[in-house]
Amino acid sequence: MVKKYSLILFFFGFILHAAHSQCIDPLAISPGFACPDPSYRPVCGCDQITYRNDCEARYRNGVLTYTDGPCSGFEFDMIPNFVGETDVMRFTFVQNTGRPATMYVLDYFGKVMIQRTLPSSDNFAAPFIFDMPEVNSYRPGPYIVIVFNAAGAYRFKKFVKI
- Domain ranges across the chain: 23-29+38-71, 74-161
- Strand, helix or coil for residue 83: strand
72 Cβ partners below 8 Å, 6+ apart?
50, 153, 155
The CATH-assigned architecture of domain 74-161 is Sandwich (2.60)
The tens digit of pLDDT for each residue in 7-36 reads 554 554 444 344 446 999 999 999 999 999
Span 118-157, pLDDT tens digits:
998 887 777 899 999 999 999 999 999 999 988 889 999 9
Q: What pLDDT, on the 0 to 100 scale, is given for residue 126?
A: 79
- Residue 10 has what pLDDT? 55
Q: Is the Cα dihedral 36, 37, 38, 42 positive or negative?
A: negative
pLDDT category of residue 38 using cuts at 50, 70 and 90: confident
Average of pLDDT values for 70-95?
A: 91
Global pTM? 0.76
Q: Using one digit for the tens of pLDDT, what is the confidence trace for 48-60?
A: 999 999 999 999 9
The one-letter amino acid at 144: I
